[in-house]
Chain A
């Protein structure tokens, strides 16, 4: 019984990091109404940025946030502004422009291959990092210290994004644009600027996720692919566009991944994840925690 509890807690910790990784995907979808297929690649780029920042500066991984997050914000902001926005403008009268999805797929391929070209296929592990392999012993429990940090980062980041959207003028403008782009433009809101911001913030949250991951997860050019499908499932589970839903969806996946293998083969655990995904799509397509047309 204790084992299961320990697995459950570690599952929640890891799941919250999945949720953090998925946060940007759900935010960008909520505002732009397109699935960003490059999200995993943005996470991968973030992990390289985090890896090199920490390695070259010798900073504590979480101190490196102050460098990684702004870099990724700017990266996402201009990726949308320079690469994606022109497509939106060309397809201005299309409600859900499929060409934008194709472009994000292109971005995925380009980023992954560019990284392979520049850094090679090898796996990189953060050296001398104060969090590496650390375990916290509480009574009978062994908890992973870097994942505990990750949990804290996930909860705080989710809360910060939520409050930003609810309480600030810019956040309000982002919500308005996501609900009705045309009506928002009649309020004087420049939708393309809002798209840039949403993409920047979404990519910045991937930057936070990357910092939580590099202390215990290898960095390599296709690392984003591992998270891609997971993020997508989480976002559908939690409700496309739902900020809190991403965190909760991530925790559900984390729990299934950590507990199910106690009772069945690991491949079956994966089958449960996909089964749940399909079930939600059939029964409650707005997601477990999403409102229809969530913000």
Chain B
């Protein structure tokens, strides 16, 4: 069985179905991208995996355990961490408090453990240390995204899901965010990256899925997808 195994899920908002019979697999240590345009269902998929929404049918298992009936906090305990779209920081709390909250789950909790993880996060994202006493809402967009990622890392993820981390950032910041994601993967964390920035995300991934209208339209090794004629015309504008 795969590390994360999504089997034939259907997801709806009320009467409107947005995910159709979708299946995907992620193996331990992989970096997998899910790419797709606006409204194709990427965020809905992640929200369903992390338990914020329930699939109407289908199953999801993580490290051999079914999780599709669990509340989000139990899924976090299992080690599956979702960094949501739009960062969703605790705006009136300091950067440090945001990071510490990330370590709320029982695997990450404890003074010594938190200090150790925090040191690692600061090493990866030194900017956060400079800003640690600032309120999250006073940060720039790029810094906020770093806090969101750092907060996710504080949870000691076994699988980190990132929903459009490059959204709304300047090109230079986008580059540094993707470099950070690469570093996280190199340190051994399995990563599921949802992106509209097809080129950057596929370049650092092992495999990719293309999501169109709530269905997997295409899947394969990232290098193969980057050269796929459909992707070239539809997503890369070549």
Bound CA–CA A20/B25 (angstroms): 55
User: Is A173 within 8 A of B84, CB to CB?
Assistant: no
Which residues on A sit within 8 Å (CB–CB) of B93?
A: 172, 175-176, 179, 295
Partner of A185, one of B52, B97, B109, B151: B52
Report the count of interface residues on B (CB-CB < 8 A): 27
B interface footprint on A180-208 (CB within 8 Å = 1, 0 otherwise): 10111111111000000000000000000
Contact flag A188-B52 (CB < 8 Å), given A175-B90, A183-B84: no
Partner of B73, one of A169, A183, A188, A293: A188
Bound CA–CA A173/B73 (angstroms): 13
Which residues on B sit within 8 Å (CB–CB) of A175?
A: 90, 92-93, 97
Q: Which of B4-12, B98-106, B189-197 contacts A (4 or more CB under 8 A)?
A: B98-106
Q: Is B33 an interface residue (CB 8 A)?
A: no
User: Is B92 within 8 A of A291, CB to CB?
Assistant: yes
Which residues on B sit within 8 Å (CB–CB) of A190?
A: 71, 73
Q: Is B165 an interface residue (CB 8 A)?
A: no
Which residues on B sit within 8 Å (CB–CB) of A294?
A: 92
Partner of B82, one of A180, A186, A295: A186
Partner of B101, one of A187, A291, A293, A295: A187
Q: Is B166 an interface residue (CB 8 A)?
A: no
User: Is A187 within 8 A of B151, CB to CB?
Assistant: yes
Contact flag A188-B104 (CB < 8 Å), given A175-B93, A293-B92, A295-B92: yes
A interface footprint on B202-238 (CB within 8 Å = 1, 0 otherwise): 0000000000000000000000000000000000000
| Closest chain A residue to B108, Cβ basis | A188
Q: Is B44 an interface residue (CB 8 A)?
A: no
Interface residues of B in 79-93 (CB under 8 A from A): 81-82, 84, 88-93
Partner of B90, one of A169, A179, A188: A179
Which residues on B sit within 8 Å (CB–CB) of A182?
A: 52, 84, 88
User: Is B155 within 8 A of A187, CB to CB?
Assistant: yes
Q: Is B30 an interface residue (CB 8 A)?
A: no
User: Is A179 within 8 A of B50, CB to CB?
Assistant: no
CB distance from B170 to the nearest CB of A (A): 24
Which residues on A sit within 8 Å (CB–CB) of B81?
A: 186
Q: Is B19 an interface residue (CB 8 A)?
A: no
User: Is B92 within 8 A of A187, CB to CB?
Assistant: no
Which residues on B sit within 8 Å (CB–CB) of A186?
A: 50, 52, 72, 76, 81-82, 84, 88
User: Is B52 within 8 A of A176, CB to CB?
Assistant: no
- A sample of 24 inter-chain contacts (CB < 8 A) reads A172-B97, A173-B101, A175-B90, A175-B92, A175-B93, A175-B97, A176-B101, A179-B90, A180-B90, A180-B91, A182-B84, A183-B89, A186-B72, A186-B76, A186-B81, A186-B88, A187-B76, A187-B101, A187-B105, A188-B105, A188-B106, A190-B71, A293-B91, A295-B93
Q: Besides the contacts A187-B76, A188-B77, what 18 more A-B pairs have beta carbons closer than 8 Å?
A: A172-B93, A172-B100, A172-B101, A175-B90, A179-B91, A179-B93, A180-B91, A183-B84, A183-B90, A185-B52, A185-B71, A186-B52, A186-B84, A187-B102, A189-B101, A190-B71, A293-B92, A295-B93
Residues of A in contact with B (beta carbons under 8 Å apart): 169, 172-173, 175-176, 179-180, 182-190, 291, 293-295
